[in-house]
Amino acid sequence: MAAEQTGEATSATRCESCGRFLGPYTTCPYCGARVAGRVSLRAVKVVAVMLALVGLLALWWIARRTPVPLLTVEQAQGTMNLAYVRLQGRITRSLTYDPASGYLAFWVDDGTGEARVSAYRDVTADLLAAGVIPAPGDEVELSGTLRIREDFVALTLNLAEHLRLKRPAPVAAKAGTLTVADAGLRVRLEGEVERIWLPYEGLTLITLRDGTGEIPVVVDESLTALTGALPEVLEGQPLVVTGTVTLYRDEPQLSPASVADMRFSAAPPPLAEAQPTPALEATLAPPATAMPPLATPSLPTSTPTEIPPTPTATLLPPRALNTLSAAEAGAWVRVRGRIVAMTGIKGGLKAVLDDATGQLDLILWQRFYDALPVPTAVDVGAEIEIEGELSLYEGVLELQPQSPRDLIVRTAAPEIPWVTLSSLSAQDAGRIVRLRGVTGIPESFSAGVKLPLDDGFGVITVLLWSNVAEALPHPPEAGMTLEVVGEVSVYRDALELIPRSAHDWRPGP
Amino acid sequence: MTAPFSDLLLWTLLGTCAAAILALLPALHIYNVAGFLLLFGSALEPVLTPERLAFLFLGLITGYAMLNTIPSIFLSVPDESTLFIVLPGQKYLLQRRGYEAVVLSGLGGLGGVFFLALLAPVAARILPIVREILRPHLGWILWTVIAYLLLSEWPKGVDRAPAGWRRWWDAWRSLIAGLATFLLSALLGFILMYRPLVPLEVAYQNLLPAFVGLFAVPWVVQNLLARVELPPQHRARTLDLSPLVLLHGITAGVLGGMFAAFFPVVTGGIGGLLAGHATAQRDDRAFIISQGASKVAYYVGGLLLFFVPGLHLTRGGMAWMLSTRYSSFTPEAYFWATSVVLLAGTLSFFLLLALARVMMLLVSRVNYRVLSWCTLGILLLVVWAITGWGGMAICAVATGIGLIPALWGSRRMNCMGVLLLPIALNMVGLGDTVARLLGLL
Q: Are residues A300 and A244 in the same domain?
A: no
Q: Which of A83, A146, A150 sits opposite B323 (nearest CB)?
A: A150
CB contact under 8 A, B204 and A79: yes
Q: Are residues A97 and A179 in the same domain?
A: no
What domain range is A246 assigned to? Answer: 171-264
Give per-residue burial for A370-398: e unless 16+ CB within 10 Å, then b. eebeebbbbbbbbbbbbbbbbbeeeeebb
Q: Are residues A466 and A388 in the same domain?
A: no
In the prediction, which pLDDT does B280 show?
56
In the prediction, which pLDDT does A315 show?
58
Q: What is the ipTM of this complex?
A: 0.80
Q: Are residues A186 and A247 in the same domain?
A: yes
State which H helix or E strand residue A435 sits in.
strand A432-439
In the prediction, which pLDDT does A286 show?
33
Question: Parallel, antiparallel, or unpaired: how do β-strands A96-98 and A443-445 relate?
Answer: unpaired
Q: How confident is the model at residue A298 (pLDDT cuts 50, 70, 90)?
A: very low
CATH number reported for the structural domain that contains residue A502 in this entry:
2.40.50.140
Q: For A3-45, how does the pLDDT look when each residue is reduced to its tens digit (9 = 90+)? A: 334 444 445 567 778 877 766 666 777 888 877 666 677 888 8
Whole-number Cα distances in Å, B156 to A115, A156, B159, B214: 53, 44, 9, 22
Pinpoint the alpha helices (H) of B284-330.
Answer: 284-305, 316-322
Q: Are residues A259 and A300 in the same domain?
A: no
Burial of A109 (0-12, 13-18, 19+ CB in 10 A): middle
Q: Are residues A397 and A452 in the same domain?
A: no
Contacting residues for A412 by C-beta, under 8 A, at least 6 apart: A304, A305, A306, A307, A374, A377, A382
Whether residue A485 lies inside any domain: the answer is yes
pTM of the model: 0.63
Question: Which one of A10, A16, A26, A60 makes the best mutation probe of the B interface by having the most chain B beta carbons within 10 Å?
Answer: A60
Single residue among A383, A411, A439 that ends a domain in this structure:
A411
* Residue A234 pLDDT exceeds 50: yes
Q: Please tell me the total count of domains within chain A.
A: 4
CB contact under 8 A, A9 and B202: no
First to last CA, chain B: 44
Whether residue A68 lies inside any domain: the answer is no
Q: Are residues A248 and A311 in the same domain?
A: no
Q: Are A66 and B189 in contact (CB under 8 A)?
A: no
Whether residue A60 lies inside any domain: the answer is no
Q: Which of A48, A62, A149 sits opposite B403 (nearest CB)?
A: A48
Q: Are residues A160 and A175 in the same domain?
A: no
Q: For A401-449, how does the pLDDT look when each residue is reduced to its tens digit (9 = 90+)? A: 988 888 888 888 888 878 888 888 887 777 888 888 888 888 887 778 8
Q: A131-135, B38-42, B410-414, B432-436 — which is least confidently predicted?
A: B38-42
CB contact under 8 A, A23 and B35: no
Closest CA relative to residue B117, chosen from B359, B407, B338, B414: B338
Backbone dihedral angles phi then psi of residue A246, each to the nearest 5 degrees: -120, 170
Q: How confident is the model at residue A381 (pLDDT cuts 50, 70, 90)?
A: confident
Q: For B84-133, how does the pLDDT look when each residue is reduced to its tens digit (9 = 90+)? A: 334 677 778 878 888 998 999 999 999 999 999 999 898 888 888 888 88
Q: Which of B184, B408, B440 sits opposite A64 (nearest CB)?
A: B440
Measured CA to CA, the distance from residue B276 to residue A273 in angstroms comes to: 78
In the prediction, which pLDDT does A276 show?
34
Please give the mean pLDDT across all residues of chain B.
83
Distance from the Cα of A40 to chain B's closest Cα (Å) equals 9
Q: For A258-287, how does the pLDDT look when each residue is reduced to its tens digit (9 = 90+)? A: 888 887 765 444 433 333 333 223 222 333
E strands in A120-234 = 139-148, 153-157, 163-166, 171-172, 186-200, 203-210, 213-220
CB contact under 8 A, A45 and B321: no
Q: Are residues A125 and A186 in the same domain?
A: no
Residues of chain B contacting A62 with CB distance shorter than 8 Å: 197
In the prediction, which pLDDT does B182 show?
94
In the prediction, which pLDDT does A428 show?
79
Average pLDDT for B78-82:
32
Of A386 and B168, the one with more pLDDT: A386
Whether residue A130 lies inside any domain: the answer is yes
Measured CA to CA, the distance from residue A370 to residue A306 in angstroms comes to: 19
Whether residue A7 lies inside any domain: the answer is no
Q: For A96-127, how does the pLDDT look when each residue is reduced to its tens digit (9 = 90+)? A: 888 888 899 999 998 898 999 999 888 888 88
Whether residue A48 lies inside any domain: the answer is no
Single residue among A134, A166, A198 that ends a domain in this structure:
A166
Contacting residues for A393 by C-beta, under 8 A, at least 6 apart: none
Contacting residues for B314 by C-beta, under 8 A, at least 6 apart: B306, B320, B323
Burial of A302 (0-12, 13-18, 19+ CB in 10 A): exposed
Range B164-171 contact pairs with CB under 8 angstroms and sequence separation of 24 or more: none
In the prediction, which pLDDT does B222 show?
80
Single residue among A385, A411, A437 that ends a domain in this structure:
A411
Q: How confident is the model at residue B171 (pLDDT cuts 50, 70, 90)?
A: confident
Question: Which one of B51, B79, B204 makes the best mutation probe of the A interface by having the most chain A beta carbons within 10 Å?
Answer: B204
Residues of chain A contacting B183 with CB distance shorter than 8 Å: none
Residues of chain B contacting A9 with CB distance shorter than 8 Å: 227-230, 367-369
In the prediction, which pLDDT does B56 show?
94
Q: Are residues A501 and A448 in the same domain?
A: yes
CB contact under 8 A, B393 and A59: yes
Whether residue A125 lies inside any domain: the answer is yes
Average pLDDT for B129-144:
85
Whether residue A395 lies inside any domain: the answer is yes
Average pLDDT for A151-163:
86
Q: Are residues A187 and A143 in the same domain?
A: no
Q: For B344-400, how does the pLDDT look when each residue is reduced to its tens digit (9 = 90+)? A: 999 999 999 999 999 888 888 887 778 888 888 888 888 898 888 999 999 999 999
Q: For B311-342, how does the pLDDT look when each residue is reduced to its tens digit (9 = 90+)? A: 778 887 788 888 878 877 788 889 999 999 99
